[in-house]
Amino acid sequence: MKRIIISSIFLLITTNFVFAQTTGKILGKIIDKKTGEPLPFVNINSPFPLI
């Protein structure tokens, strides 16, 4: 019984580390609507934390 509990705790801890390192990447250009020129040094914020 003790071995099952220790194994379960180990699996829970290691899966948290695996998911903590997943990241996404957003690529593209931000273009001014009026002029059609690309905008330099633009930051983008996402309301979705899983991206």
Say if 17 falls within a structural domain.
yes
- Within a domain: residue 51? no
Distance CA 10, CA 19 (A): 15
Within a domain: residue 36? yes
Q: pTM for the whole thing?
A: 0.38
- 41 burial via Cβ count (<10 Å: 0-12, 13-18, 19+): exposed
Residue 13 lies in a domain: yes
Q: What is the pLDDT at residue 32? A: 92
pLDDT of residue 51: 47
Residue 1 lies in a domain: yes
Question: Which residues span the domain enclosing 1?
Answer: 1-44
Residue 11 lies in a domain: yes
**Residuewise pLDDT in 10s, the chain (51 residues):** 888 888 888 877 776 665 555 566 777 889 999 999 999 988 877 776 654
What total number of domains does the chain contain? 1
User: Are 30 and 44 a contacting pair, CB within 8 Å?
Assistant: yes
